[in-house]
Amino acid sequence: MNDYIRPGHGSGGKLMHELIHDIFFRHFGHHELKKGSDSALLQSNGHRLAFTTDSFVVNPLFFPGGDIGKLAVCGTVNDLAVCGAIPQYLSAGFILEEGFSIAELEKIVISMAREAKNSGVNIVTGDTKVVHKGMADKLFINTSGIGYIPEYAGSFANNRKIKKGDVLIINGTLGDHAIAVLSEREDLPFQSTIKSDCACLNHLIHSLLEKKLHIKFMRDLTRGGLATCLNEIAQAQAIDIEINETRIPVKASVEGICETLGFDPLYLANEGKVVIIVSAEDASEVIETLKADDLGKESTIIGKVTSENGKKVIAESAIGGKRLLQMRTGEQLPRIC
């Protein structure tokens, strides 16, 4: 346990998980919190609800394909959707630094309103705080969200057991968000046209749930990327996972920048991707359904569950070599969301 907070404590990797378990889980203690899910699943007068919260500190505030406002709405909507909920209402809390442009604030708020309308949610409450210059970096946003779990999503939300032979599907290319933010932030020696994949996935996900396919688990990929997400699933579900790197979609332009700067695309942040674990017999129908939506056009199987008694994630390379994927201990790209 470290004595002080470091940037890696917000990376989504090993340090952050240690902080959550050693401090927050230990003292808050509620069994629903300890599940470590994207949303808490709650009962209220016979209705099943999902409730979540998220904070956004991305730098810069505007980047190709999005901005901090769009990111805040999409991130919270997606955390509800992957738990089988239909997102209904959001809150929006703003921490503003003295001197921040009101014109830029309004531009961000308009972006949030547009994304909320497109995803079918309403922003119904909020909060505003202002701190003196130098006490924050322009603008931070916190969004919380609540949604209800429809009857047809009931069995999914109750966690079907993941079995050996189940397959993993993702809905498109990795790393677009991280490289888009990086290209806007850094003085790179080359130009990039890559846009963030930032998008609300609730309509895509519910097209699957309405068909009552045997989906066993879903999680949206954010900071920490695919590798961290799969490690979280493997440890929480006590399973071994094997993925084939040749089947993982990555844009050539993203791959090229990763090779130049030494990044691993499996650890890059995404904001419009979901990993789905499904029975092998239902995989074709799941992919067909995903591909009917623009956000799922590049959906593909990337791997499978190889054991019901383990916690490892293995990646097989193009030449047949295998490597163990672990959670990162440091921060590959800080303030990416």
**In which domain, by residue range, is 263 found?**
166-325
Q: What is the pLDDT of residues 280-303, one digit of tens each?
A: 999 999 999 999 999 999 999 999
CATH number of the domain bearing residue 302: 3.90.650.10
Whether the CB-CB separation of 285 and 211 falls below 8 Å is answered with yes
| Residue among 82, 86, 50 nearest 222 (CA) | 82
| Residue among 168, 181, 135 nearest 332 (CA) | 181
Q: How many domains does the chain have?
A: 2
- Mean pLDDT computed over 59-77: 97
Question: Where are the extended beta strands (E) located within 7-136?
Answer: 40-44, 47-56, 62-63, 66-67, 86-97, 122-131
Whether the CB-CB separation of 247 and 167 falls below 8 Å is answered with no
**Whether residue 271 sits in one domain with residue 206:** yes
CA dihedral sign of residues 52, 58, 61, 62: negative
C-alpha 181/C-alpha 176 separation (Å) is: 9
**Whether residue 290 sits in one domain with residue 200:** yes
CA angle 100, 103, 107 (to 5 degrees): 110
CATH number of the domain bearing residue 142: 3.30.1330.10
Q: Does 175 map to a domain?
A: yes
C-alpha 27/C-alpha 11 separation (Å) is: 22
Residues near 23 by beta carbon (within 8 Å), at least 6 away in sequence: none
**Whether residue 147 sits in one domain with residue 262:** no
Q: Does 25 map to a domain?
A: no
What integer best gives the mean pLDDT of the chain? 93
Q: What is the pLDDT of residues 178-212, one digit of tens each?
A: 999 998 886 676 678 899 999 999 999 999 999 88
**Whether residue 173 sits in one domain with residue 87:** no
**Whether residue 316 sits in one domain with residue 184:** yes
**Whether residue 262 sits in one domain with residue 132:** no
C-alpha 217/C-alpha 170 separation (Å) is: 12
Q: Does 208 map to a domain?
A: yes
**Whether residue 249 sits in one domain with residue 283:** yes
> Which pLDDT does position 309 carry in this prediction?
85
**Whether residue 145 sits in one domain with residue 238:** no
Total length of the chain: 337
**Whether residue 317 sits in one domain with residue 194:** yes
21: left (phi over 0), alpha (psi -120 to 50) or beta: alpha
> Which pLDDT does position 221 carry in this prediction?
94
Q: Does 160 map to a domain?
A: no
Q: What is the pLDDT of residues 22-42, one digit of tens each?
A: 999 999 989 999 888 889 999
Q: Does 62 map to a domain?
A: yes
> Which pLDDT does position 186 carry in this prediction?
66
DSSP state of 121: -
CA angle 168, 209, 304 (to 5 degrees): 10
Domain boundary (98, 129, 153) is at 153
Q: Does 31 map to a domain?
A: no
CA angle 209, 77, 282 (to 5 degrees): 25
Q: How confident is the model at residue 7 (pLDDT cuts 50, 70, 90)?
A: confident
Whether the CB-CB separation of 133 and 98 falls below 8 Å is answered with yes
**Whether residue 275 sits in one domain with residue 220:** yes
**Whether residue 109 sits in one domain with residue 54:** yes
Report the share of the chain in percent with pLDDT over 70.
Answer: 96
> Which pLDDT does position 157 carry in this prediction?
60
